[in-house]
């Protein structure tokens, strides 16, 4: 794929008429800003002078001493430095917000209020403003003032308790799941609020709490306990009473996933294994029976799969209509033809890294798709554009503000 340096005017995206001011740092709020920017919104990120968002330094690998995470989470954004802890910086922020559609922030509740950037004051000059507030526990309730990281929200929302092996401590996903879920729900709320504004002319607050975003994904966890007295527990790689749906060995020394828990699919798997009688066996002839005999059935499938090379096994399963697949690493994604055919990975020009790949904008829209137009910007890269253009400040004024540590 060719390296992309920018987007043509007709490819700005369906949200290109929206201006977003992003405040806050690290992941939950900025990921919401990233999603809006992917679909064309103008995202002006306000960062502290000198240091900027700590995400500029985060990441396990830092070639050239720079984060590989920052170009992703800050893609499509404009960076403007603004010291929000000073009256002058707060005034600049209010002036920018007066000309914005959306503000995204993920400070601890009460911070905006201390800075004179509370919703009631902001909407005096901008009644249609949508204020998106992402926090650990939400803007109300007894826990609202607490510091809330994603890991705490994952624990409180229920996902940590049911993740991992039953004989070990609760585990975590290898990504910042709680922060990301809160950002996705914040984005949904933002789009709903913007739609409501088109009908009423009024803005509103979108309140996305990390623990509630996790809770929203917990399926029937609550009624299972309240009605049936059943507490979900950690079950490792399997789902209780759902079989076969597990990882199985191959002759290549790999593990693949096979999901054949539906009756018709299990019948196809049994035929593919050369054991069509299994689908009529009382131990396996039905969803409930297979769930009760999960361990025994997994042993049968493992003994069969372990004798076949991975590629051949997957081709056979796919040809038979049995869902199966490798457990991908990043290397697998780069080599997979399906990723390539769907442009799941986009490559951008980066001043330090050269060609920089990352996941593309998602979901895909047939008429108004999103796009990744540029990687994360340098700190204060757009000061002149925003302060000089949007606020009409003279370059000497901007220089003076910079000297005083305001921008």
Could you list the active site residues?
179
Could you give phi then psi for residue 156, rounded to 5 degrees?
Answer: -70, -35
Task: Give the bridge partners for 225, in sequence order.
Answer: none
Return d(Cα 295, Cα 301) in angstroms, integer.
10
Q: For residues 218 and 157, is the Cβ–Cβ distance under 8 A?
A: yes
Task: Report the sign of the C-alpha dihedral through residues 186, 192, 194, 197, in that order.
Answer: negative
With both helix axes pointing from N to C terminus, report the angle between 150-157 and 177-200 in degrees, rounded to the nearest 10: 90
Q: Which tokens sit at 211?
A: 């623990």
Determine the Cα–Cα distance for residues 136 and 154; give it in Å rounded to an integer.
Answer: 10
Beta strand residue intervals within 117-182, DSSP E: 130-135
Q: Is the CB of residue 208 less than 8 Å from the CB of residue 106? A: no
Distance in angstroms (rounded) separating the CA atoms of residues 144 and 64: 39
**CA angle centred on 384, ends 380 and 386, rounded to 5°:** 85
Distance CA 97, CA 123 (A): 9
Token pair 């929203």 is found at 216
DSSP reduced 3-state for 57:
coil
What percentage of the chain's residues is helix, strand, coil (to nearest 5)? 40, 15, 45
State the DSSP H helix or E strand holding residue 306, giving kind and residue range, or none if neither. Answer: none
Coil, helix or strand for 121? helix
Q: Six-digit token pair at 106?
A: 């993920």
Q: Cα 265 from chain centroid?
A: 32
Displacement of CA 309 from its chain's centroid (Å): 35
Secondary structure element (H or E) that encloses residue 256, with its range: strand 255-259
Distances (CA, A) of 345 to 7, 63, 339: 16, 20, 7
In terms of Cα–Cα distance, which of 182, 233, 228 is closest to 208? Answer: 182
């Amino acid at each position: 794929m060719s390296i992309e340096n920018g987007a043509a005017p007709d490819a700005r995206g369906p949200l290109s008429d929206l201006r977003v001011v992003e405040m806050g740092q690290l992941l939950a709020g900025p990921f919401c800003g990233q999603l809006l920017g992917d679909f064309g919104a103008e995202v002006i990120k306000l960062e502290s002078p000198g240091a900027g968002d700590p995400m500029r330094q985060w990441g396990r690998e830092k070639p050239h001493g720079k984060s590989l995470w920052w170009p992703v989470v800050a893609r499509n954004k404009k960076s403007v430095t603004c010291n929000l802890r000073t009256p002058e910086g707060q005034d600049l922020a209010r002036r920018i917000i007066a000309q914005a559609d959306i503000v995204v922030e993920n400070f601890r509740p009460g911070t905006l209020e201390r800075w004179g950037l509370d919703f009631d004051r902001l909407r005096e000059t901008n009644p249609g403003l949508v204020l998106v507030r992402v926090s650990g526990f939400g803007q109300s309730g007894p826990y609202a003032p607490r510091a809330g990281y994603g890991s705490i929200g994952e624990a409180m929302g229920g996902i940590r308790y049911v993740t991992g092996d039953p004989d070990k401590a609760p585990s975590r996903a290898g990504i910042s799941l709680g922060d990301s879920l809160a950002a996705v729900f914040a984005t949904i709320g933002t789009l709903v609020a913007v739609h409501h504004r088109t009908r009423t002319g009024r803005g509103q607050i979108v309140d996305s709490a990390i623990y509630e975003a996790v809770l929203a994904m917990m399926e029937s966890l609550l009624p299972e306990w309240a009605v049936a007295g059943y507490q979900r527990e950690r079950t490792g790689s399997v789902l209780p009473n759902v079989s076969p749906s597990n990882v199985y060995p191959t002759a290549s020394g790999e593990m693949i996933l096979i999901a054949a828990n539906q009756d018709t699919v299990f019948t196809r798997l049994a035929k593919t294994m050369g054991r069509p009688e299994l689908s009529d066996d009382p131990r396996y002839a039905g969803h409930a029976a297979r769930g009760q005999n999960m361990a025994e059935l997994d042993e049968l499938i493992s003994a069969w799969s372990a004798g076949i090379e991975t590629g051949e096994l997957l081709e056979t399963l796919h040809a038979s209509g049995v869902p199966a697949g490798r457990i991908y690493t990043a290397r697998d994604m780069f080599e997979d033809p399906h990723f390539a055919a769907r442009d799941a990975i986009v490559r951008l020009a980066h001043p330090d890294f050269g060609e920089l790949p990352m996941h593309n904008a998602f979901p895909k829209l047939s008429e108004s798709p999103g796009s990744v137009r540029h990687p994360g910007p340098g700190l204060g890269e757009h000061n002149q554009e925003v302060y000089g253009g949007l606020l009409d400040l003279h370059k000497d004024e901007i220089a003076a503000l910079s000297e005083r540590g305001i921008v």
